[in-house]
Structure 1
Amino acid sequence: MTLIPFAAAGILGLVYLWPAAQRLLARILPLRPGSPVMYLTVVLGLLLVAQQIGSQVTSQLPLTYGELLAQDIPFLMLAFVGVGIFIRRSPRETIARLGLTPPAARRWWLVAVLGIAVFLAVAFGIESLASVVAPEQQKKVTDVSNVLFSHFNNPGAIIFLGLLAAVVEETLFRGAMQPRLGILVTSILFAALHTQYAVSFATLEVLVLGLGLGWLRAQSGSTLPGMVTHAGYDIAVGLIPYVLK
């Protein structure tokens, strides 16, 4: 059964090679028909969604530092290559296209810091609802997370994990993808990346947080405030249980 979503994604990827299909989708999403970069983005999105639909919450082996870097560095490279560094854009133009420049208004740094508290409140609300509506599923998600990140159980590792996720994911999703795909589609792909949660309340949580990060990117004109919020939230989520032990 898990192969069905991937087969469907492959078929849709082939269909998207048809120029008429590209023109049709371009009426709905801000895509450029005939662009190899856009084709790569669409196929990546289809595969991420297929992986999310086909995944199940199961026990996994703990991630190591090497595995985490091997997983995240290609995504960071994809962001830079996807916007055409050294091909269509110079390094400086690429940095600007990815939003890796400070926001014009300094208030966005304050908004980014306050956003950490807002994200924690939203996450607490969704997880509380999940504990009531689907307690067994919530327990499985918690167990998977505990196993998956068991090597990152000290303050230094938690900070490293939070910073890495923020830099890589914000550069790829809010920096590279969002200006082309919009906030909603980018947030769905962002949620699909976190496949260890399968389709659950945790997926909803990631989706909502992705929408918030997308709004911050769109309003501030920069990816950097979102990195602050993302990193701060991830680090807080990791450190709070550690401090309360």
Structure 2
Amino acid sequence: MYEALSAIIENLTVFGPIIILFYLVNLAERSRTPEHPREGKEFALVLYMLMALGFAIVFLLGLIAHFQGGQLAHTLQGIYSERIVNHFASQHASIGMSLWIPSLVGMLVFIPSLRRFLAGKVLPIDPAHRVHTMALSFSMVVWVQLFVTVAIGLGLINDATAPNVAASYTFASIWSQNILFALLAFIGTGWLTRRNGKEVLERLGVRPLTLKQVLAGIGIGAALTLFPALMTWVETLFGPIVDQNVNDLTTKMLGPLFDSIPGVLTLGLAAALGEELIFRGALLPRFGIVYTSVLFALIHTNYGLSLSTLMIFFVALALAFARLRVNTTLSMVIHATYNITLGLLYMLAG
């Protein structure tokens, strides 16, 4: 019980402020109308400044690590292991850049002319829309997380990561995280501020499926498992092509879920609920197929930048096309089937 409560509190601590932020920026956007386009501008600017302040702090920390990390490494001695200290001393420039470069981009997004350029050339956003602006800036957090993971290295992260031996912690962590993802998708698209529940579901693309569409989704999800199956077959012929640290980290993070049917179902159903609502439901119509799929692939940081990341990107493309061709409910069915099938195969093999 304690482990489950701890996991829920951890996720609330991370996602709670984000949900509140997007609730507030939706309030600021609600005030803006074609007749009064500047209404609520002051409130929006305060929220922009708070977001920019967070990036500014990370930006400064990145500059310090980049240019002074070698000199500061000795201060970590006695606090961290010698391996960690030596790695930071040798990789401080990469770690620093992984912090300050995406943080700088996150701040630059608040420049209207840059958003207008992106809206015309790259992304289907409304450059004046305050929620779109905040979401685009916040997407840089994913890049910070990914670049820091790569700079530190999966090997070091794997060694420093303790296995999740408590099944209750893993179950609670996965479910609470994805429920909060779903809540963020609802709040981010205007629930309780700009849209009612029916309008939000329509915006997220959550609509009923026919039996034929459900069966097609199950078939597509099962077929997508050919990607990892092909990788496994290639490894039997030519040796490992995936960093072993990727497999080890995945096992440490999700291991207890592979030991039971409820765990395998959690892998599929929780991800179908949270990840599909936030990525295919909320973000895809505003960020487009490519950028949304890239973010989806990169948020799986336990893969770092590896062949597995590329595989997830292609799966994300398939889910995106399902959302655009039919609706988000179909992408949920595909995602759930994909994860559950992989989980069952892993459980049977282990």
TM-score, L = length of structure 2 = 0.65
Give the corresponding residue for 2:328. Answer: 223
- The SS at the match of 1:151 is helix
Q: CA shift at 1:126, angstroms?
A: 3.8
Which residue identity does 2:117 align to in structure 1? L
Give the corresponding residue for 2:80. Answer: none
Which among 200, 213, 229 is matched to residue 306 of structure 2? 200
CA distance in 1, matches of 2:216, 2:329: 12
Structure with the higher helix share, 1 or 2: 2
Which residue identity does 1:41 align to in structure 2? A
Which residue identity does 2:245 align to in structure 1? K
The structure-2 alpha-carbon separation of the partners of 1:73 and 1:3, relative to structure 1 and needing over 3 Å to count, comes to farther
Structure of larger gyration radius: 2
Map 1:80-91 to 2 at 5 A: 80-91=186-197
Give the corresponding residue for 2:254. Answer: 149
Give the corresponding residue for 1:67. Answer: 173
Give the corresponding residue for 2:113. Answer: 20
Q: CA shift at 1:136, angstroms?
A: 6.7
Is the counterpart of residue 46 in structure 1 residue 152 in structure 2? no
Q: Mind listing any 5+ residue stretches in structure 1 that lack a counterpart?
A: none
Q: CA shift at 1:107, angstroms?
A: 3.5
CA distance in 2, matches of 1:181, 1:131: 38
The structure-2 alpha-carbon separation of the partners of 1:113 and 1:136, relative to structure 1 and needing over 3 Å to count, comes to closer
**Does structure 2 retain, via aligned residues, the 8 Å contact 1:6–1:47?**
no
**Does structure 1 retain, via aligned residues, the 8 Å contact 2:319–2:331?**
yes
CA displacement 1:121-163 (0-9 Å, x = unmatched) = 1222245456777827432211111111122121111112210
Q: CA shift at 1:240, angstroms?
A: 1.4
Which among 272, 280, 296 is matched to residue 166 of structure 1? 272
Q: Mind listing any 5+ residue stretches in structure 2 that lack a counterpart?
A: 1-93
**Does structure 2 retain, via aligned residues, the 8 Å contact 1:79–1:172?**
yes
Give the corresponding residue for 1:34. Answer: 128
Is the counterpart of residue 180 in structure 1 residue 286 in structure 2? yes
CA displacement 1:65-94 (0-9 Å, x = unmatched) = 333344333322221111111222111000
Which among 221, 226, 233 is matched to residue 338 of structure 2? 233
The structure-2 alpha-carbon separation of the partners of 1:71 and 1:6, relative to structure 1 and needing over 3 Å to count, comes to farther
CA distance in 2, matches of 1:82, 1:190: 17
The structure-2 alpha-carbon separation of the partners of 1:129 and 1:34, relative to structure 1 and needing over 3 Å to count, comes to farther
CA distance in 2, matches of 1:112, 1:136: 29
CA distance in 1, matches of 2:305, 2:273: 25
CA distance in 1, matches of 2:100, 2:235: 31
Give the corresponding residue for 2:220. Answer: 115
TM-score, L = length of structure 1 = 0.90
Please give the root-mean-square deviation of Cα atoms over the aligned residues, in Å: 2.1
CA distance in 1, matches of 2:220, 2:343: 17
